[in-house]
Structures are given as structure tokens and as C-alpha cells.
Amino acid sequence: MKMTQIDNNEMDSDQLYENLRDFLSPENSLKLPKNDTTSKLLKNMYTESEAYIIVKGFKKTLRPILGWAIRRKIKISKQTLNQILEEMVYKGKLIKKGPFYLIFPYIPGGFEFYFTTNRDDPERMKSAAEAHDALFYEGYPLGLSKMNPTVYRVIPTIEPTKKTYEINKTLDVEHHVLIYERMEEYLAEKHKFAVVPCSCRTAAAMAGNPCKRTDENFCITAGVLAENSIKSGVGREVTLEELIEVMKKAEKEGLVHETFNVQEASLFICNCCPCCCGFLKSVKELGNYGAITKSNFEPQIDHEKCTLCEICINICPMEAIHLTNTDASRKLNIDYDLCIGCGVCASNCPQEALLLEKVRNDVPVKNLKEYYKKLEKSD
């Protein structure tokens, strides 16, 4: 799609992109640092015309706005504005629902939609991906630990959680496995599903660091996001039954289920690897455990069943499992400080020697509205 440009006579380029950086870094998001890497990121991700429309036309991130309200602020022709807005929607820089346009903070939302959609100029996207990758090593994701509540939480694997439920269903209600902890019931609250490309793995590959665990698409959208991704051609529609099989296959590849840290059925679930996912990578490489909320489960070892095959050691995304050698024997051990309770080890154990046990009862925020209210109170 050809890029439409408009004249910007109000501010120089550097000031425009500094204003854009500030706009995409509201209080309830991960804030982009003010440096040359961020400048490279934004100047490749957004043309000057797009940056100008965002800065001058939109009031806030996550606040829907009508096209005529944007045009009233910018004073350009309706045809030109509509063309640029539709180009941005096509490339994943904006979301459109009916007559309303919506823009996300860079994280969470903006980065994910842009690289999942993957429709911008390839050279610009490659440069943006390189800058995004560089920001990680400049300490950018450390700000995730300051967000209260955290953005993402881990959902444990499907079959091991079922077994936990069977074991715990007669116990005190405090220990019951709840709907938001059981993948099938949690997803069933939505009625439309789509499998979409993973933004993190797409960006990592563009930056020259392809995923070490998988080359398949495993991330999913649900509800209105699924409808949007199917309509745009980005997502592949699947049934709930097909989706569960996708999730199980993701577990076999050693991927971690993560979603927004709320109880209500989410609009997306990411299947994450520790080499590409900004959240897991931040936890594993930087010890940034405040970036995600662990699941309420931990794997327990049945040493009588364990054959020391080491499958769990090799597949654990956090490298939390190891063998201990003594004079008398070799024994499997789990470092629970590193463990995030994803259950990937239990899902892949051929001897069923690893079972999940519910050890915490951390309760996510009830819904997105409450989530943002809590964030605003914590600022």
C-alpha cells in the first residue's frame, strides 16, 4: 500500500518524535526511554505524517476517537486523513472498530499489533525490530517490574492442570482450581478464536535472532480481537476444539501460556518462548520476576516414577530443573525461585513423574476496567 504524506510545518522532526515517544508511554504502560535507540525505533515504525496525526489528532492511548474529531484538530482534507488512517489500520498501527479508531501504548499493544500484522515496508520493519531488540539490552524491560498489577500472568498447561483439579476438587475451596486457571473453561467464555503470528518471534527474526524453540504460529486472539484479526486477514479462524490442540502442541514445543493479568476471559493468549518474548526474556536473563505473575502452581517430583530422562531439564523455559549428584545417587531437583509454574515440564514428562500442585492463591484483577483503575491508583 502506497504511503500518503502530509506537510508538517508546526514542529521539527526530532520534536515530533519526542512528542510521539511521550504519547506512546502513558503512565499505565512501559515507558520508552529517551535515547537514540528509541528514536530509531519510532522513526522507522511511523512516518512523519503518521506521527503527526497521532500526536495532534489523538487525545490519549486506549481512547476511541472518530475520524471527524481527528480532522477537526489537524485541519487536513477528509480524503487525505481517511487514507492515512486506513493505511495505519492495514499495517497494524491503529485498531478500527466501527467508525472509531484506537491506538495502544507501545507496550502493551502497539508493538504486538504492528509486528503481528507485519505489513509495513520490510526495511523499515527490520530497522524497527533491530531497535526494539537493542532496547532490551539497554535495560528497557526492567520497568515492567514497577507495574502493579503486572501486565501478564502465566496460565499452567492443560492436562497437568486437569489432574490437579481431580486431586484438589474435594479440598477446601481455597485450594480449588478456578476457571481462570483452567485453560479450556477460561477460553470457552469466548465464541470466536483465531491463530495469529507471534509479534515477538516475528520481530526477533527480523532483527537476526530467530526463535530457538519453534518456527510455527501459536499465539491466539479471542472475541472481538479474533473477529478483527480474521476480518483483516492476519488471523486464521479455528474452533475451540482446534484451539485446544494448538495450545497442547505449543506446550510440546516448550512454550509458556501467558495472558493479561485479569480474571475475565482474555482477548488473547500468547504462547511464549524465553528467547524472544520480552516478558519471559526479561525474567530469565535479567532476573526481572516482577515482569509477570507466576501461576498458582508448582511442579512436584515423584522420584519413584522419575527415570532421569532429562526431558524436563531440556525443555524448562526458565532452566529451573537440574540433576543433583551424590555419592549414592542422582536426583532431579527444582529451583522454585526460578520456576514460574507454567507446567511445561509436567506436560512433557513421559513417565508422569511431574505433577502440578496448587501452592498459591494469587487472584488476578477482575476485569480490564479494574486493572486500569488499579494502575492509575498505583502511579
**Cis status, amide bond into 317, omega within 30 of 0:** no
pLDDT at 326 over 70: yes
315 shares its domain with 191: yes
Instruction: Based on the fold, state whether residues 167 and 66 are members of the same structural domain.
Output: no
User: Measuring CA to CA, which residue among 265, 256, 216, 252 is closest to residue 349?
Assistant: 252
- Based on the fold, state whether residues 225 and 320 are members of the same structural domain: yes
Q: What is the pTM of this model?
A: 0.89
Determine what percent of the chain is predicted with pLDDT higher than 90. 66
| 3-class state of residue 184 by DSSP | helix
Give domain status of residue 104, yes or no. yes
Say yes or no: 159 and 233 in one domain: yes
Of the residues 138, 172, 207, the one at which a domain ends: 138
Same domain, 123 and 192: no
pLDDT given at position 263? 92
What does the pLDDT look like over 128-152, one tens digit per residue? Answer: 999 999 998 888 877 777 777 888 8
**How many domains does one find in the chain?**
2
CATH number at residue 231: 3.30.70.20
Asked if residue 339 and residue 191 are part of one domain, the reply reads yes
State how far the Cα of 311 lies from the Cα of 165, in Å rounded to an integer.
24
Tell me, yes or no, whether 214 lies in a domain.
Answer: yes
Q: Is residue 34 part of a domain?
A: yes
Co-location of 187 and 313 in the same domain: yes
> Residue 116 belongs to a domain with what CATH number?
1.10.10
Distances (CA, A) of 10 to 7, 24, 45, 175, 353: 9, 20, 21, 60, 66
Together in a domain, 188 and 276: yes
pLDDT score, position 176 = 75
**Distance (Å, rounded) from C-alpha 310 to C-alpha 278?**
27
Same domain, 134 and 167: no
Give the CA diameter of the chain: 81
Residues 198 and 60 in one domain: no
- State the residue range of the domain holding 315: 152-378
Provide mean pLDDT across the span 310-333: 91
Residues 123 and 19 in one domain: yes
pLDDT of residue 173: 52
259 near 269, Cβ under 8 Å?
Answer: yes
Determine, yes or no, domain membership for 144.
no
Per residue in 10-39, pLDDT (tens digit) is: 678 999 999 999 999 988 788 899 999 999
Q: Is the confidence at residue 8, as pLDDT, over 50?
A: yes
Q: Specify if 321 maps to a domain.
A: yes
Residue 147 lies in a domain: no
Mean pLDDT of 292-311: 94
> Residue 137's pLDDT is what?
87
pLDDT at position 9? 60
- Burial (CB count within 10 angstroms: exposed 0-12, middle 13-18, buried 19+), residue 86: middle
Domain termination site, one of 104, 138, 172: 138
Residues 73, 189 within the same domain:
no
Residue-wise pLDDT tens digits, 45-57: 999 999 999 999 9
Question: Is residue 246 predicted with pLDDT exceeding 90?
Answer: yes
pLDDT per residue over 171-212, tens digit each? 555 567 788 888 888 888 898 999 999 999 999 999 999 999
Backbone phi and psi for residue 357, each to the nearest 5 degrees, phi listed first: -125, 135
The more confident residue out of 253 and 369 is 253
Q: What percent of the chain has pLDDT over 70?
A: 92
Q: What is the pLDDT of residue 158?
A: 93
For 61-117, the pLDDT digits (tens) are 989 999 999 999 988 899 999 999 999 999 999 999 899 999 999 988 999 999 999
| Angle made by CA atoms 333, 336, 337, in degrees to the nearest 5 | 130
